[in-house]
Amino acid sequence: MTTSRTLTTRVAAPVRNSVTPVARRRRAAPPPAAVAKAAPRRILAVGGLLGLWLLAVTGRLVQLQIYQADALRERAEQQQQKTFKTPPCRGKILDRNGRELATSLKAASVYIAPKTIREFLGNKEGGKEEAPKAEQIARQLAMALGLDHETVLRKIGSPNAFVALKRKVTPEEEKAIRSLGLPGVELVTEMQRHYPQGLVGASVIGFVGVSEGEVEESGKAGVERAFEKHLIGKPGRVIVEQDARRKVFSVLEESPEVGQSLALTLDTQMQYEVERILSAALREQGGKGGAIAVMDPATGEVLALASSFGEAPHDASKDKDADALLRRYRNRAVMDQYEPGSVFKIIAYAGAIEEKLLTRQQKIDCQGGSIQMNGHTILDGGRYGALTAEEAFAKSSNVAAIKIGLRLGRDRLLQYVDRFGFGQLTEVGLAGEAAGGVGQLSDALLGAVPMGYGVTVTPLQLCAAAATIAHDGVWVQPHIARHIVSTTGDVLLDIKPKTRRVVSRETARDLTELMRAVVEKGTGKRAAARGYTVAGKTGTAKKVDRGRYSETRYVATFVGFAPATRPALAIAVMMDEPPYGRHHGGDAAAPVFARVVETLLPLLKVPPDAALDPDPAWIGAATIPREATPDSGDAFGDARTDPAARVSVFAQAEAAPQTVTVITSQGPRMPDLRGLSVRLALIESAKVGIRLETSGLGTVRTQSIPPGALVTEGEVCKATLDQ
């Protein structure tokens, strides 16, 4: 019985335990109403998450499509496109008659797509043929373009998408590249500067080039540089499109925009003639070079500017040395500043006449052609006594000039130096113009400046000063540009020169007579021109050599205008270091001036106003011994006893012309023509009525009638020239 109860108890216990958890779970399950109530919250949560996701996606799309669209598009284009600038098309440069001086022409440039070439090398014709070696391609390109094949090979291996192989190739090189037909080699059209008149006016026009660190060409000298912002234009573009493997599949070109054109005052024919005359003079005389400036005195327009360093002309743009390039293009007429010598006496005389301190016929005591200044002896070209102002100016008396400068005084002398435009830029419109100037005008320099020492000038400034006198005392700004023209031909900017009155009309006319006397009876006789009256002034100045004035190196100058009665041209001639012995302004520069007058005035159709055979006879006061210096009641005081005259100055002397025509009581005698140019020989022969026949080129070597022989009018003399 006991055993049976115990078993019953053990069996019954598991039955209770197995039923209890099921019942408990059923009691824990939520009712259906609770489940139904929780479902919307879950849906809202999921929907909220989806909404946030959609909002984020939409925001990102807005950011990419709107706010970052340009940046992303640019990045995509950078990956798919490469853009290269091509040089802009510069505007034309024209002379006063519309003749082209500079223009831009189309030229082909060779570019390569290195990856395209490399793929061609590895898979020519889909692998059916053996790919050519890279060296072979490089040699073909190098031979066609005249390049080193190693350079070409290196560029073929470049990681860049598009590489310039050679820019602005010749037509022959372009043809050779086309005949090769190589993939990955492209011909791109660029603009190349061209100068149709060759080297004529090169120092005025200038040139273009690419400096270190620059990509595009720009003006480096002359008007090309001075008017860069007008001429430059806008660059074009080459757009290279490539695929994901950086293989070029398209090359597009956008043409550059043309810049504005520049119309100059320059006359090409006159420029050519003036350059020719200067070159011929340097061949005949020798020397280190020179400069000639020609302008219209009424308008200030610069008609010609010639410049030379005494070297044979050539295309300087091909020079590799930058210094040599700029030297050959240096415009000496506006960039060289030097002490002018006696031509500067014009300024002192102008001031004294304008201030009523001097008249043309007023006597000046020249003290026998010598004056002591602080221990320095200043000499004239002759032992002159009392001379009128006109005679003193014609003979280029230093003593008279010093006395005039002292009477004018420091302040008034500086005033007229400034009025005539010295010491300041003319703003002619050329890059690199020099201003010149006068330093601190101490008492020691007061006597030097009227003689053209202690002051520096440019040939163009001297030309403008002569033009001022020719234009009745009104200074007109020299200028090289007339107007700026648009691509449609419309005038965008008309250049208007500045003007100012420097001296009165009466003073200008008195100065004209003084300058005519220089040519008719003074140191400038060789400036006399056939058929035209001339007014001018000679100048001879020592050059500075190692801090001292040289005794053998000079600058010779002649400045003036013609015709003297109706001025059409103002001209300045500067000759640098002519051979010693013929180094004076009257010998070296005056004949060049005459050639310019005789050549250019007929081109302007200016009618003659003088005899075709000028006979500038010497008319002047007789020289007297230096010891005998008579006082003159109407003359300037003796500077040797004037305390204000105790200044230190520099010596200078003008020489009279060396060729003299002799006429005796028995009749005229044959002049010595040996060593003279054809022009001078013709003039000297005409003075005695001789007809001259020449053969050859250069200067006269022999003459059929011996020098000094009696001749009759109409007789023929045959002259043989050097060449």
Domain spans of the chain, in order of start: 2-65, 83-264, 268-645, 663-721
Q: Please tell me the least confidently modeled range out of 1-5, 163-167, 457-461, 553-557.
A: 1-5
Considering only 341-350, 417-426, 439-448, 700-709, which range has the smallest mean pLDDT? Answer: 439-448
pLDDT digits (tens, 9 = 90+) for 134-180: 788 888 898 999 898 888 888 888 888 778 888 888 889 999 989 98
Could you tell me the two tokens for 595? 């050639």
- Range with the poorest average pLDDT among 173-182, 191-200, 294-303, 680-689: 680-689
Q: What is the rounded CA–CA span in Å between residue 30 and residue 23?
A: 14
Contacts of 452 (CB under 8 A, 6+ apart): 339, 340, 341, 342, 343, 344, 345, 539, 541, 652
Other Cβ atoms less than 10 A from the Cβ of 701: the count is 14
Q: Name, of 438-452, 509-523, 687-701, the range with top average pLDDT.
A: 509-523
pLDDT of residue 623: 34
The whole-number pLDDT of residue 274 equals 96
* Mean pLDDT of the 511-521 span: 97
Tell me if 234 sits within 8 A of 257, measured CB to CB: yes
CA-derived radius of gyration, the chain: 44
Please count the other Cβ atoms lying within 10 Å of the Cβ belonging to residue 179.
9
SS3 content of the chain, % helix, strand, coil (to 5): 40, 25, 40
Which amino acid, one-letter code, is at 687? Answer: K
**Residue 330 in this model has a pLDDT that exceeds 60:** yes
Kindly state the average pLDDT of the residues 701-723: 83
Q: What's the CATH fold of domain 83-264?
A: Penicillin-binding protein 2a (Domain 2) (3.90.1310)
Calculate the average pLDDT of the chain: 81
3-state secondary structure of 284: helix
- Where is 95: in which H helix or E strand? none
Q: Max alpha carbon distance in the chain (Å)?
A: 199
> What percentage of the chain carries pLDDT values higher than 90?
44
Instruction: Name which of 122-126, 220-224, 408-412 the model is least confident about.
Output: 122-126
**Structure confidence by residue, pLDDT tens digits, 331-378:** 999 999 999 999 999 999 999 999 999 999 999 999 999 988 767 888
What are the beta bridge partners of residue 493? 484
Count of residues in the chain: 723
Residues contacting residue 619 through CB under 8 Å, at least 6 positions apart: 520, 521
User: Encoding tokens for residue 292?
Assistant: 């000639």
Residue labelled with tokens 């109409």 = 714
Ranked by mean pLDDT, the top range of 38-42, 165-169, 313-317, 475-479 is 475-479
Q: How confident is the model at residue 641 (pLDDT cuts 50, 70, 90)?
A: very low
Q: What is the predicted pLDDT for the residue at 447?
A: 85
In the predicted model, is pLDDT for residue 34 greater than 50?
Answer: yes
For tokens 């013609």, name the residue: 562
Please report, for residues 79, 163, 413, the alpha-carbon distance to residue 240 in angstroms, rounded to integers and kept in the order given: 11, 11, 68
The strand ranges marked E within 424-547 are 437-438, 455-456, 474-476, 481-485, 491-494, 499-501, 535-545
Let me know: does 485 contact 316? Beta carbons within 8 Å.
no
- 82 vs 188: CA distance, rounded Å: 15
pLDDT mean over 457-479 = 98
Give Cα 492 distance to the centre of its chain: 23
Pick the CATH number of 268-645 from 3.60.15.10, 3.40.710.10, 3.30.70.2190, 3.40.50.720: 3.40.710.10
Per-residue pLDDT tens digits for 394-438: 999 999 999 999 999 999 999 999 999 999 999 999 989 999 988
> 663-721 sits in which CATH class?
alpha beta
Which amino acid is located at 59 in the chain? Answer: G
The stretch 41-65 carries a mean pLDDT of 80
Q: Which of 207, 265, 198, 220 is nearest to 429 (CA)?
A: 265
When mean pLDDT is compared across 623-632, 659-668, 677-686, the lowest value belongs to: 623-632
Looking at per-residue confidence, does 696 or 554 come out higher? 554
